[in-house]
Amino acid sequence: QVQLVESGGGLVQAGGSLRLSCAASGRTFSSYAMGWFRQAPGKEREFVAAISWSGGRTYSLDSVKGRFTISRDNAKNTVYLQMNSLKPEDTAVYYCAASARVLGMSSNAYDYWGQGTRVTVSS
């Protein structure tokens, strides 16, 4: 079992930055691939970024490439999403997720989910 708790969301002006954190419980965090997803009002949840257990491989949504960076610190059981040059369309609830099976971009690949942290970008 893995429990995930996100933090770092908030209100920011367009062009600003936020860093989201996701703290995981359990001793096997380093064996999980981790992902960030988001869900905007009235829209389906979408993949944002993912990182392999070692941090050696990352994937991200095309629209956030060059602006968002996913990273992890296995010693701290934490995964991060650094978000720069934020746009109003980035407004959403952001969720982190853990997968014991595969590094993927589909929500179906993930076994555990956090409760989410809200990000609002004003224009």
Q: What is the mean pLDDT of residues 22-43?
A: 93
For residue 37, count other CB atoms closer than 10 A to its CB. Answer: 25
Q: What is the pLDDT of residues 66-84, one digit of tens each?
A: 999 999 999 999 999 999 9
Q: What is the pLDDT of residues 35-63, one digit of tens each?
A: 999 999 999 999 999 999 999 999 999 99
Q: How far apart are CA 123 and CA 99, in angstroms?
A: 35
Q: What is the mean pLDDT of residues 98-111?
A: 91
